[in-house]
Structure 1
């Protein structure tokens, strides 16, 4: 996986409208330093952090069909970003990120409150309720954006693309990578939390503290990614399920592979988007959304239970 990521990263540096060769890099490294390298790093950090956020949320909810984009977390973060754009447009990017993260945190706790009222013997109800809940929040965001003439901004936040990533506009994603690393340090606790509240408490786990840590991590990653590149659907849903089918549910062992596979798939989707309609670009979120939607439907309609 490490070798594949290195190869993909190297190929990514040389794909784009501007001609970039070894000789041109030696003459003028500006394109490489300002555009191609930040874009490649942003794709890797985004894919890794979103995939890790997805597997954490799945363990906390005890359901394999959920991720931030199907539980209202992303839509809540967009609502927070809309609010700060309307009422405090001059705020620095860190302030906007903090508001978006707070809104994502509230939205995620709202989803968890809804799941507590669902019968545990009906696991498919959780993702369906999450989609409805997210749809309601998304409709509210669209209404607010329409009233404030911010539909164009909403489209950018929902697209999940890396064309605008340059040096100085992606560094917040290192915080998302740090949140993913923090999740690895608490991997054993998240694994135990995935057994359910009752089993976790009986094993001596401080369940509520672990739950709070996980939800804060998910909200922070969602806000950082949306502020920087937009929504990337299905990464946090598909990647953890693929890895768990091969490696099981021991998060300590599987989390590096979840992060690596997520990073590789996002970078690959971005590269495909750059070449499929060259010299124009298709957003990476659209490219992976097509694949992810098909896999998600197969998971919902397949015979095997992933809950």
Structure 2
């Protein structure tokens, strides 16, 4: 049985790595502009296209997918519920509210300043969600995601109302609808901050695993529960703020990827974080490539494609869970 499980793990890891490499290559070569390796070495315009557009877009998709999936994994560990992620717990909507407030109060603020404001609002919004989620009865696990959907919807409605009153609805649509078509060199570099957050998450992965056992068990094992919880909140909030500022809101990534990986590799965050990140990057890259191909040379936003693909994967997870039960 152990040998079969090990072989299954090895096959899944090889498949994930192969899919990731293939999608990276496709992401670089697919686009409205004519591009090839031969032209890149002989034509300065092709090299410019690669450096300015294709490579930054691919890196942005990789960083976004990996960071959002790991943020979802951490949030699920903190709440002890498999059905939450930043976009269904008010975190992403709170980050969008922070950007909107900064745009109204300090319209000339840089992206870094807007990111800071978005991080603060995301932290506050997530903290309020956590405080309420921990008060819900643990015997009713579906109440947490339902509350998260309502909570995020209320914050999103506030953002929409303020945008409508201030004639900024078009900007709100840009912030809330994730897409990579506007990502170029000089526009995506803030996303490297998500890599720093992911590195911190991997560094404290063992503590986050203990955190997922609950407050009483964590304290009994000698964990500083409140401090680790605060660190997890900061990681999730900064990742959500950075992705909303640069890319927009992309649903389902942090929800389905951790669930799919945990079914194969278990719940030890130290071992699963690298593969959750790789799987999330692969999923977002695949949706971005699909969005570029479906109406070529036009594009469908990655958030729209991810909404369809993520909903399908989520339903599969739900039905599989019901059949297993």
Q: TM-score band, normalised by the shorter chain?
A: over 0.9
Q: Distance in 2 between matches of 1:106 and 1:140?
A: 15
Q: Select 2:289's aligned residue among 255, 262, 271.
A: 271
Q: Distance in 2 between matches of 1:11 and 1:129?
A: 39
Bigger helix share = 2
1:209 aligns with 2:227: yes
Q: Select 2:171's aligned residue among 136, 153, 156.
A: 153
Q: Select 1:15's aligned residue among 30, 44, 57.
A: 30
Alignment of 1:184-263 (within 5 A): 184-263=202-281
Q: Distance in 2 between matches of 1:303 and 1:217?
A: 29
Q: Distance in 1 between matches of 2:152 and 2:258?
A: 21
With over 3 angstroms needed to count, the CA separation of the structure-2 counterparts of 1:203 and 1:283, relative to structure 1, is: same
| TM, length-normalised to structure 1 | 0.97
Q: Give the drift of 1:254.
A: 0.8
Q: Give the drift of 1:300.
A: 5.0
Q: Distance in 1 between matches of 2:24 and 2:134?
A: 42
Q: Give the drift of 1:11.
A: 1.6
| TM, length-normalised to structure 2 | 0.92
Q: Give the drift of 1:273.
A: 0.4
| Structure 1 unmatched runs, 5+ | none
2:313 aligns with: 295
1:65 aligns with 2:92: no
Q: Select 1:5's aligned residue among 3, 12, 20.
A: 20
Q: RMSD across aligned C-alpha pairs, in angstroms?
A: 1.4
Q: Distance in 2 between matches of 1:155 and 1:200?
A: 41
Alignment of 1:47-62 (within 5 A): 47-62=65-80
Aligned pairs, number = 306
Q: Give the drift of 1:305.
A: 9.8
2:122 aligns with: 104
Deviations 1:24-64 (A, max 9, x none): 21212000000000000000000000000000000000000
| Structure 2 unmatched runs, 5+ | 1-15
Q: Distance in 2 between matches of 1:299 and 1:141?
A: 31
Q: Distance in 2 between matches of 1:13 and 1:221?
A: 25
Q: Distance in 2 between matches of 1:24 and 1:298?
A: 43
Q: Give the drift of 1:177.
A: 1.2
1:162 aligns with: 180
